[in-house]
Structure formats: structure tokens, C-alpha cells
Structure 1
Amino acid sequence: MAKFGELISAQKPVLIDFYTDYNDAENTVHTLRDVAAALGDKAKVIKIDITKNETLADALRVKGNPTFMIYKNGEMKWRQTGIQDANTLIGLVQQYI
């Protein structure tokens, strides 16, 4: 979890998608690519597999799939469970740039 702490302490907003392989809709992958392309180097976009990072998912009380979170300077700014479209995610992250 030390690496996660370093990751979320960035001054740029960090959008994290907690997902599982068996339930990762193909459109979610394309959505995150679109979000990353639109935001460029202004933010980070990261996917974390819940099954490979169970301790972290449990610590953050991730129950649904997918669960999206936005962190900035080590503080959670936004969290939502359920599929989100690219424009919504881009707009949310831009609030913290």
C-alpha cells in the first residue's frame, strides 16, 4: 500500500478505476483511454484489479465493480460505483486540475 500512498499524493488529480477482469466491460477500457487522451498530462488515469489487490480494495471498502475514485494531494475528492461515460469522468477530473 506504500506505492498507493505515493500514487495518490500527486499534485495532479488521479482517476482510479477499481475493476475485476471477469466483469470488465470492453467499453470501460475504451472509456478510460478516451479520458486519458483528453486529459493528457494534466491527470493520471489508473486501473487497479480488485482480485489482485484485495487488501487495498478491502481497506478502501470497494464493494462494487467498477468503482471510480479521484484523489488529489492524498485526499479522496470523489467516488462512485457503476459504469460512467467518458465525458462525465473528464468533467469530474477537470474540476480538480
Structure 2
Amino acid sequence: MNSSFDQIIQSEKPVLIDFYATWCGPCQMLGPILKEVKDSLGDRVSIIKVDVDKNQELAAMQQVRGVPTMMLYQNGTQLWRQSGVLSKAEIIKTILEKIK
């Protein structure tokens, strides 16, 4: 996953990564919100979900301490990072502010 993760974050298209766990209540709330974000932004952003239990090494490398944690990357650079659940409007506003 690490090499594919590196390839994913090198994308010119912004990539929102959602580190989540299946047992996490807030993570389950965030899932449908991210779907709405994707529906609103379409091809302007990619959204990738990463299960921290299945990708513990990657989560450790990214210093994910709590779930959900979202990270926004573009061209290999982390533009934003936030733990917890945000509204669709907050996520979209943040993405549009951060991307070039």
C-alpha cells in the first residue's frame, strides 16, 4: 500500500484521503458525507478510503492517532489535515480553498 499511496498522492488532481476504521461510529457518519462531497465536486477531486486496521503501517507512517482523519494531497504535498467529522459544506469549502 505504501508505494501505491505515494503514487496516489503525487496526483495533480487533489486527493482526499479518509483514514477510517469499520468499528468507528464517527467514521460511519463521515462515509455518506464524503459521497456527497464527491457528488458535488465530481472529477475535481479523488477520494480514497484507507482502513487503518488493514493498513497499520501506512497509518503509523502518516501519524494517524485517531479516526476519522482526513488528509488532502496534491502533487505529493499535504495541503490539509483534520481529524473528526466535518459537514459536507466545510469539507468542500476547505478543498476549494486549498487546491490550486
For 1:27, the equivalent position in structure 2 comes to: 29
Q: 1:45 aligns with which of 47, 68, 74?
A: 47
For 1:60, the equivalent position in structure 2 comes to: 62
What RMSD, in angstroms, separates the aligned Cα atoms of the two structures? 1.1
| Shift, 1:24, TM fit | 4.2
Q: 1:69 aligns with which of 65, 68, 71?
A: 71
User: Partners of 1:71 and 1:47 in 2: how far apart?
Assistant: 13
| Shift, 1:28, TM fit | 1.2
Are the equivalent residues in 1 in contact too, given 2:29–2:85 (CA < 8 A)?
no
User: Partners of 2:44 and 2:15 in 1: how far apart?
Assistant: 9
For this pair of structures, how many residues does the alignment match? Answer: 97
For 1:83, the equivalent position in structure 2 comes to: 85
SS in structure 2 at match of 1:11: coil
Unaligned runs of 5+ in 1: none
After the TM superposition, list the runs of 4 or more consecutive aligned residues in structure 1 that deviate by more than 3 angstroms.
Answer: none
Are the equivalent residues in 1 in contact too, given 2:13–2:44 (CA < 8 A)?
yes
SS in structure 1 at match of 2:35: helix
TM-score scaled to structure 1, two decimals? Answer: 0.94
Percent identity over paired residues: 36
